[in-house]
Structure 1
Amino acid sequence: MVNSKFDDTLAAIELNAARKLNWDYSQFKDYFDFTVNEATIEISPKHKLEASEGETLKQALLDYGFQYKKTINDLILVFEQDIELR
């Protein structure tokens, strides 16, 4: 994916996730750190997520073709772009 296009997609994912969580976008950006590594997105919450918030976040990424892959150290959620969309 072209870098600037991916940046736009990441911004759309963040806005979608904030909307689904019923959070203000700045509150969302303060709560999560996003790291992009090629076809994966790592999301690090600054505080432990409630189960419903985690599921909402997973659904927001699924809307953009990213599948939940794994959790690292009970905090970092890793999503991988759907193979068929690459």
Structure 2
Amino acid sequence: MVGSKNFDDTLAAIELNAARKLNWDYNQFKDYFSFTVNKEAIEIVLKNKIDESQLKNLKEALLDYGFQYKKTVDDLLLVFEQDVELRQSNIIDC
């Protein structure tokens, strides 16, 4: 489940993976993005504009962890939701 304590570690791993895919150091990454968990979704606030290739790399980094891009709100908030099949398998595994 997204709200579990283990998910804090997973979220950090997702952030590090995204920074690596963007070829940025972690501090630069944190200057551009703020990750929050909202129920079964990860919301990413863009603090600065990014280009399409950077957005593609960010989407790939979250997909590595089973989170698919769902929508953009006001060009500043990206919403990613965990794949439904993956969520169901996590429920069974618990």
Same topology, TM > 0.5: yes
Partner secondary structure for residue 68 of structure 2: strand
Bigger Rg, structure 1 or 2? 2
Gaps of 5+ in 1: none
Matching residue's letter, 1:6: F
Question: Once the 2 structures are TM-superposed, how far is the Cα of residue 4 of structure 1 from its aligned partner?
Answer: 1.4
More off after superposition, 63-72 vs 23-32: 23-32
In 2, the alpha carbon distance for the partners of 1:19 and 1:44 equals: 18
Aligned runs of 1:9-20 on 2, under 5 Å?
9-20=10-21
Q: Kindly state the Cα deviation for residue 14 of structure 1 after the two structures are TM-superposed.
A: 0.2
TM-score, normalised via structure 2 length: 0.87
Paired position in structure 2 for 1:58 = 59
Q: Distance in 1 between matches of 2:32 and 2:48?
A: 7
Q: State the alpha-carbon separation in 2 of the partners of residues 69 and 81 from structure 1.
A: 10
Aligned residue runs from structure 1 range 5-44, under 5 A: 5-44=6-45
Q: CA RMSD in A?
A: 1.0
Structure 1's consecutive aligned runs of 4 or more residues displaced over 6 angstroms after TM superposition are none
Give the whole-Å Cα distance in 1 for the aligned partners of 2:40 and 2:13: 16
TM (norm. structure 1) is: 0.95
The superposition leaves residues 11-68 of structure 1 with CA deviations (integer Å, 9 ceiling, x where unpaired) of 0100000000000011111211111111100101111110000000000000000000
* 5+ residue gaps, structure 2: 88-94
| Aligned residues between the structures | 86
